[in-house]
């Protein structure tokens, strides 16, 4: 089950389970209140019967002055429950019939235990029903997503043939020095399509389980070396300790770095810079580019501030970072530049 499926399942389960639990809990509380009142009413009825027969072992029988109490009323004291009844021929005393607090609590606890057993059984039934309901509601979503993923996989596979043809023909055109600028543009466009293909493939697969150990400084330098040929006018600076190593999915981490470096290069200014530094557990990818007007929206799917691209690159970066346990944030100022900050604490050795 993928992350978005787990999230959907968990939300459906919690929503249904909590709603039903609150409803059942309210019903049982009302029922307990009703049973408690019925118990006191039952005790009072037994006391009335006892006042006629005086042969009740459960109750304590006594005589009290009339002035302190009213007849035919149940009193709840700190140590007992008592009721008072007139005595034929007596003007001063009432007949007192009482039940000790301990016996009353025992009767109340019996009701509580019975209700608790029923409540636990009800919660278990709700739990099982919530699980079934959540799986049932998730199934159409999973089927639709599976169909979409298979469609995207087919498209990605079909990309390979025309892209290979394009790359082969561009390589042949390099022999013609007169159209070098145009050829470079075609090659950049092909590389952009290849990067989009790689991003889409990364978007489809999760990478948590496939981990390896690699050197951070070496990897960053390799990715920058690949960019330098296309952005010769930019100044690239790398300040990362040579012995720093990470343990995570290398391919997914490369996708994150490539997207951030590629954006920093594409939207930079002439003779600008891209600087990658490391402080504690964080790496900073800083550029002198155009900046971002709405940094809080930059990771939203299809959000873009430039004409180029389709606005999915940074959304994929955020998704991959979440899968790998990397915290990512962005600081930007229009006309000054942008800095992406990646906290690698969870994957750093």
> How do the domains of the chain map onto residue ranges?
3-137, 211-343
User: Cβ(101)–Cβ(78) under 8 Å?
Assistant: yes
Which pLDDT value is given to residue 204?
62
User: Cβ(256)–Cβ(326) under 8 Å?
Assistant: yes
Paired tokens of 174: 């390099």
Pairing of strands 235-239, 273-279: parallel
Paired tokens of 320: 């991959």
User: Cβ(99)–Cβ(58) under 8 Å?
Assistant: yes
Which pLDDT value is given to residue 207?
52
User: Using one digit for the tens of pLDDT, what is the confidence trace for 66-98?
Assistant: 877 888 999 988 889 999 999 888 888 889 999
- CA distance linking residue 179 with residue 170, whole number of Å: 11
User: Angle at CA 320, nearest 5°, toward 338 and 210?
Assistant: 135
Q: How many CB atoms lie within 10 A of CB 98?
A: 20
Which pLDDT value is given to residue 252?
85
User: Cβ(84)–Cβ(48) under 8 Å?
Assistant: no
> Within 13 Å, how many C-alpha atoms sit on residue 38's CB side?
7
Tell me which of 3.40.50.620, 3.30.565.10, 3.40.50.1820, 3.40.50.1980 is the CATH number of domain 211-343: 3.30.565.10
pLDDT tens by residue, the chain, 349 residues: 666 677 788 888 899 999 999 999 999 999 999 999 999 999 999 999 998 888 888 899 988 888 778 889 999 888 899 999 998 888 888 899 999 999 999 999 999 999 999 999 999 999 999 998 888 887 777 777 677 767 666 666 666 667 777 777 767 776 666 666 667 667 666 766 776 666 666 666 655 557 899 999 999 999 998 888 788 889 999 999 988 999 998 888 998 999 899 889 988 988 899 999 999 899 999 999 888 888 888 888 777 777 666 667 788 888 889 888 999 999 999 989 999 999 999 998 8
Q: What angle in degrees, to the nearest 10, is found between the helix axes of 313-324 and 250-266?
A: 150
Which pLDDT value is given to residue 266?
87
Helix (H, G, I), strand (E, B) or coil at 44: helix
């Amino acid at each position: 089950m993928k992350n978005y499926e787990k999230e959907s399942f968990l939300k459906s389960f919690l929503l249904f389970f909590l709603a039903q639990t609150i409803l059942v809990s309210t019903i049982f509380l009302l029922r307990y209140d009703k049973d408690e009142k019925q118990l006191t009413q039952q005790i009072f009825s037994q006391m009335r019967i006892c006042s006629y027969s005086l042969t009740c072992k459960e109750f304590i029988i006594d005589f009290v002055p009339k002035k302190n109490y009213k007849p035919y009323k149940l009193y709840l004291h700190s140590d007992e429950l008592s009721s008072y009844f007139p005595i034929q021929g007596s003007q001063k005393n009432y007949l007192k019939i009482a039940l000790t607090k301990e016996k009353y609590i025992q009767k109340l606890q019996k009701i509580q235990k019975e209700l608790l057993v029923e409540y636990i059984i009800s919660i278990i039934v709700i739990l099982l029903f919530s699980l079934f309901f959540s799986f049932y509601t998730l199934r159409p979503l999973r089927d639709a997503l599976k169909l979409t993923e298979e469609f995207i996989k087919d498209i990605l596979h079909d990309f390979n043939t025309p892209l290979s043809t394009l790359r082969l023909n561009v390589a042949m055109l390099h022999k013609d020095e007169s159209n070098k600028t145009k050829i470079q543009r075609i090659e950049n466009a092909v590389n952009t399509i290849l990067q989009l293909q790689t991003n889409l493939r990364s978007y489809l697969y999760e990478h948590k389980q496939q981990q390896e150990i690699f050197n951070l400084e070496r990897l960053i330098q390799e990715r920058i070396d690949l960019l330098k040929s296309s952005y010769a006018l930019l100044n690239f600076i790398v300040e990362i300790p040579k012995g720093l190593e990470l343990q995570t999915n290398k391919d997914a981490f490369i996708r994150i770095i490539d997207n951030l470096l590629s954006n920093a290069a594409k939207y930079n200014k002439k003779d600008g810079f891209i600087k990658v530094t490391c402080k504690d557990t964080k790496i900073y990818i800083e550029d002198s580019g155009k900046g971002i007007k709405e940094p809080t929206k930059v990771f939203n799917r299809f959000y873009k501030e430039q004409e180029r691209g389709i606005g999915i690159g940074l959304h994929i970066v955020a998704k991959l970072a979440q899968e790998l346990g990397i915290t990512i944030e962005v600081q930007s100022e229009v006309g000054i530049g942008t800095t992406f900050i990646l906290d690698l604490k969870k994957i750093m050795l």
